[in-house]
Amino acid sequence: MNHKQTVTIIDVAKRAKVSAGTVSNVLTGKRPVAEPTRKRIQAAIDELGYQPNLLARSLVNRASNSLGVVASGLELYGPSRTLVGIERQANELGYSLLLSLLHDPETAEVDSVLDDLLARRVDGIIWAVHEMGRNRAWIVPDRLRVLPPIVFLTMESRPYATIVSTDNRAGASLAVCHLLEQGRRQIGIITGPIEWWEARERLGGWRSCLAAAGCSYSDDLVYTGDWTAASGERGFHYLLAQHPGIDAIFACNDQMALGVLRACHFAGRRVPDDLAVAGYDNMPEAAYLVPSLTSVRQHLADVGRMAVQELHQAVAGRSQGEAPPAYTRLVTPELVIRESSRRL
C-alpha cells in the first residue's frame, strides 16, 4: 500500500500542528497563510508523501455536473433498489454518476476511494455503504470540511453529517405490532449480521414493541442470520428448538423470510395457522409466494431520490460559500399485510 492511499489531509495537519482547514487553504490558495506556517505544512506534505493535487483540483470552484456514488451489497435487494432511485433523480437534475463499489465495506480503504473521486472532480458524493463495525470511523468534522458535500445513507445519526435513511426501527415495530394484533405472543426474530446498523435498529424495534405490549422476550428468541434464505431456514430450526410453541417469526429481510417459509413447508408447520411470518423489504416476489408474504415496504427508490435532492442543494450551497447542512432525514416505511401473517 502506498502513501497516496494512506496519508490524508488530517495526517498532514497533525504533523504540521495546524487545523485541516489551514492545510486546505495552503492547497487551494483560497486564503492567505503565514509564510512560516505554509513552509511547515509543505514540509509535512513532503515528509509524509501526501499528494495534494487531487484534493486541490477537486476543490476548484467549478462544477463538473457529476456525483460520486460509493456503494456495497448491490447483490441485495435493498441497496440495488436504492441505486435505482439515485440514478433516476441524478438524471433528472442533469448529473452523471461515477460508481465505486466497496466489496469489503468493513475493512475497505476509504482514502483510495475518496482520492479517486476527488481526482475526477465530482461535485458531491453519496455514501451508500452500510454502517458496520467501525467503517464510519473516518467521518469526523475536520475531514468533512475539506471534502465535497456528502450525503450518507443507512447510518446512525451524527450531529455533523447529512443522512437520509429508512426508519428501520419504526419498520420493525410495524411488523411486530401487527403480529401482536393477530394474537401472536411468542414472536422470534431473525436478524441480519448484528454489526450492521440496520440489523441493530430492527432488533431494537422488535424489543421495544414487545416491551410496550408487556410481552416477555429473551436472547433465545433471537437468531443472527446473514440476510440469505439459507440463514432464514437455519434460524427457523434454531427458534423452533428453543421454543417449540413459537407462533410467529419476524425475519429482517425477505430473503430470510423465504427460508423460513421453506423450512415450515418441510417441517409440516402451516403458515399462518401454526406460525405467522413477516419479512422486510417487500421485494416484488413477496406477493407471489405461497402463502404471499407480509413485509415492510421501505420506499427505497424514494430514499435514493431524496439523497440526490439533498446533495444537489448542498452542492448549490457550497458554490455560494455555505457549509453543508447537518441533519438526519428518516423515511417512514409501511407494512404490506398478506396471507403469511393474517389469521384466516
Segment 86-95, tens digit of pLDDT? 999 999 999 9
Placement of cell 450525503 in the chain: 151
How crowded is the C-beta side of 313, counted as CA atoms within 13 Å? 10
Q: What angle do CA 321, 322, 324 make, to 5 degrees?
A: 130
Q: Which of 202, 130, 194 is nearest to 163 (CA)?
A: 130
Greatest C-alpha distance within the chain? 80
Residue 311 has pLDDT above 50, yes or no: yes
According to the model, what pLDDT value does residue 146 have? Answer: 85
- The pLDDT tens digits for 135-176 are 778 888 888 888 999 999 988 888 899 999 999 999 999 999
Burial of 275 (0-12, 13-18, 19+ CB in 10 A): buried
pTM given for the model: 0.77
State the average pLDDT for the chain. 88
Q: What element of type H or E holds 71?
A: strand 66-71
Sheet holding 334-336, edge to edge: 222-224, 187-191, 248-251, 276-280, 294-297, 334-336
Q: How far, in Å, CA of 155 to CA of 142, rounded? A: 19
Average pLDDT over residues 198-211: 96
Cis peptide before 105 (omega within 30 of 0): no
Is 168-299 in the same CATH topology as 63-167+301-333?
Answer: yes
Quote the DSSP letter at residue 221.
G
Q: How far, in Å, CA of 63 to CA of 86, rounded? A: 19
Residue 89 to residues 158, 161, 240, 275, 312: CA-CA distances in angstroms?
A: 25, 21, 45, 41, 10
284 pLDDT band, cuts 50/70/90, is very high
Please state which of the ranges 17-21, 220-224, 232-236, 240-244 shows the lowest mean pLDDT: 17-21
According to the model, what pLDDT value does residue 60 have? Answer: 47
Q: Which of 281, 284, 237, 280 is nearest to 262 (CA)?
A: 237
Residue 60 main-chain phi, psi, to 5 deg: -65, 135
CATH class of 63-167+301-333: alpha beta
Q: How far, in Å, CA of 217 to CA of 219, rounded? A: 7
58 pLDDT band, cuts 50/70/90, is very low
Q: Which CATH architecture has domain 168-299?
A: 3-Layer(aba) Sandwich (3.40)
Residue 107 has pLDDT above 70, yes or no: no
Domain ranges for the chain, please list them: 3-57, 63-167+301-333, 168-299
Pairing state of beta strands 294-297 and 334-336?
antiparallel
Q: Which amino acid is located at 170 in the chain?
A: A
121: left (phi over 0), alpha (psi -120 to 50) or beta: left
Quote the DSSP letter at residue 108.
-
DSSP string across 198-220: HHHHHHHHHHHHHHHTT----GG
Average pLDDT over residues 27-39: 74
Query: CATH topology for 3-57?
Result: 434 Repressor (Amino-terminal Domain) (1.10.260)
